[in-house]
Chains A and B, each alone.
Chain A
Amino acid sequence: MPETKPVLMQGNEACAEGAISAGVRFYAGYPITPSTEVAEKMAVRLPDLGGVFIQMEDEIASMAAVIGASIGGMRALTATSGPGFSLKQENIGYAIMAEIPCVIVNVQRMGPSTGVPTAPSQGDVMQARWGTHGDHPVIVFSPASVYETYYLTIAAVNLSQKLRQPVILLLDEVVGHMREKVTIPKDSKLMVEKASDKVPADWKPYDDKGLAPLVPFGFGHYYHVTGLFHDQYGFPTGDPPQVERSLERIHEKLMKYRDEVILTNYIGHKEPRVVIITYGCTVRSARAVVKKAYWNNRMPVGLLSLQTLWPFPDKEVKEVARKADVIIVPEMNMGQIVGEVERHVKDEAEVVPLNRYDGEMISPDQISEMIGRWLA
């Protein structure tokens, strides 16, 4: 057993530590509040581990550097906030298309544009899904605590390698900046899942049959890498059946590993009348409410927290919708995930948004008040 000791750690630091535990040895980025501590921690830690830290000239260049490092065989990560996330989008699309693993951390702040740099928000949920153009697959995680940030960063890095798919970690200012007591393993090497141990003899970089392991460029195999639609060997193609198959394949690989990709957690009553569905720091307010309403007062209330936002946890949402009369969706934006909830719940339950966009967290009182209206 690795030696463990509880420590006081910030969400952003936990993200950096999680990345290092998962074998990330390359960081390129351009600092921006409220994500800067990720870069700071990486700058301190990576050189001693034989890793590379680069502060690039801007965000899109950082994304390019991360992609280059990754295809060169290093596990790579970058961190930013909304304004920088906008600038990275073009290259995120490239990484998705060329199936190059990488992790992009977006510590959300109040937008649009430069917004309020130090205020929390959950306004980038749809940007994380559709920020880059085309009908692309994405994986987006959203942690609610420092501990969850550590473990979801590890999951993001490992999953990204395994599926050859960029993974976006959507933190918010609250989770990124707060410090909490966490217990993390000291011997961090255990967290690295090797994805590409077995390379089949007939290895093709973009095998039609499904997921081919990543062989770093130049490690015994040479292939073409492009953002154009390509054949199994990576060479551009415009052939309709090949284009169609190729697009389907990059979507299918996520669904094949759905159990590992989609992470949710339900707490509360077995037969709830009111269910809260939320993510990120808002989970904490909701949990405080459920603690009081269900644990203390046995009210028919539950909470479905979404650690994975995309691909959207449709089955999980449908399941709670069958039991509940009302689904409340608190979000620190004008209503983003609520539309997706409605789309899957249909007429099974009434879906009620609870939005706040003044740069403050949704308080437990706000949620309690809303629940009270339905259980009165």
Chain B
Amino acid sequence: MGNRQEILLTGAGGQGLILASIVLAQAAVNDNKNVVQTQSYGPEARGGASMAGVIIDIDTIEYPKVVNPTILLCLNQASFTKYLPRIKKIGECVVIVDSTFVSGPFRDEYKVKSYPITRMAKEEIGKEVVANMLALGVLNASTNIIDREIFRESIFELAPKGSGELNQKAFDLGYSLYKHGSGQNKEETIQNSQ
């Protein structure tokens, strides 16, 4: 059971989290792992705090819903407020938030990592819509669940026609965002280095 990753991708409906969860799940398949993906289908999937869950394991996966998140991604304030309390092992779960929309409160024991995900997507790539792939870049750079090249190929495979390279670029930008570390004060250096 030690290999099991339970990942919650959360944010506002429309931020592309469901597609992100499918890409992550497809990457897990391409990386020869077992995977189950679920998502919220209610009205919240069209706004508010929507959620997609991905469980990745070497073992077969029985119960398909995320019970004990090991990775939590929050792309807006509402989802941060709603899903942070879902964490059972505080301090062990990797928490990644988009500082563009999430302002806290960040209690120390949660070890929240904050990156300007959407702002970077807009400023560096010129398209907010690729924030989801950028977030996956940060997520995979932080946790190394999937082989990076396999992940990049999976993005190309599932991206809408003609946008494969752009989405891969966003994914790579996620890696450099991670490399420069979390926190608002790091943004300047990233912009200078690009």
Contacts and interface: CB of A to CB of B under 8 A. Distances in A.
A179 B39 CA distance: 9
A177 interface: yes
Contacts of B63: 284-285, 288, 361, 363-364
Given A284-B62, A284-B64, A291-B62, A178 B41 contact: no
A268 to B, nearest CB: 14
A284 B33 CA distance: 19
B90 interface: no
Contacts of B182: none
Interface in B27-67: 28-29, 32-42, 61-65, 67
A6 B29 contact: yes
A8 B26 contact: yes
Most buried by B among A7, A8, A174, A287: A8
A59 B37 CA distance: 30
Contacts, number: 57
Given A118-B41, A285-B63, A178 B29 contact: no
Nearest to A284: B62
B36 A287 contact: no
A118 B61 CA distance: 23
Contact of B65 (A118, A179, A180, A361): A361
Nearest to A183: B29
A322 interface: no
Nearest to A361: B65
Interface string A16-33: 000000000000000001
A179 B62 contact: no
A181 interface: yes
A177 B38 contact: yes
A287 B28 CA distance: 23
B25 interface: yes
B22 interface: yes
Interface in B129-170: none
Contact of B22 (A8, A177, A287, A364): A8
A173 B33 CA distance: 24
A7 B29 contact: yes
Contacts of B42: 118
Contact of A178 (B26, B34, B64): B64
A302 interface: no
A363 B63 CA distance: 8
Interface in A139-185: 173-174, 177-181
Contacts of B40: 118
Nearest to A9: B29
B41 A179 contact: no
Contact of B37 (A33, A178, A284, A363): A178
A114 B62 CA distance: 29
Given A8-B35, A34-B41, A287-B62, A181 B29 contact: yes
A8 B62 contact: no
A275 B67 CA distance: 25
Nearest to B62: A288
Of the candidates A34, A118, A173, A281, the one having the most CB atoms from chain B within 10 angstroms of its own CB is A118
A181 B35 contact: yes
A178 B62 contact: no
A320 B36 CA distance: 31
A179 B67 contact: no
B176 to A, nearest CB: 28
Interface string A334-376: 0000000000000000000000000001011000000000000
Q: Most chain-B Cβ atoms within 10 A of its Cβ — which of A33, A180, A363?
A: A180
B41 A181 contact: no
Contact of B36 (A6, A33, A178, A285): A178
Nearest to A182: B29
Contacts of A291: 62
Interface in A168-204: 173-174, 177-181
A361 B62 CA distance: 12
B95 to A, nearest CB: 23
A361 B26 CA distance: 24
Nearest to A146: B36
Contacts of B61: 180
Contacts of B67: 363
Contacts of B25: 8, 179
Given A8-B29, A178-B38, A180-B61, 14 more contacts: A8-B26, A8-B35, A118-B41, A174-B64, A177-B39, A179-B25, A179-B38, A181-B33, A181-B34, A181-B35, A284-B63, A285-B63, A291-B62, A363-B67
29 contacts: A6-B29, A6-B32, A7-B29, A8-B22, A8-B29, A8-B35, A8-B37, A118-B40, A118-B41, A174-B38, A177-B38, A178-B37, A178-B64, A179-B22, A179-B36, A180-B61, A180-B64, A181-B29, A181-B33, A284-B62, A284-B63, A285-B62, A285-B63, A287-B62, A288-B62, A291-B62, A361-B65, A364-B62, A364-B63
Interface of B: 22, 25-26, 28-29, 32-42, 61-65, 67
Interface of A: 6-8, 33-34, 118, 173-174, 177-181, 281, 284-285, 287-288, 291, 361, 363-364
Q: Give me the 6 closest cross-chain CB pairs, A-B, nearest first.
A: A288-B62, A118-B41, A179-B37, A287-B62, A288-B63, A118-B42
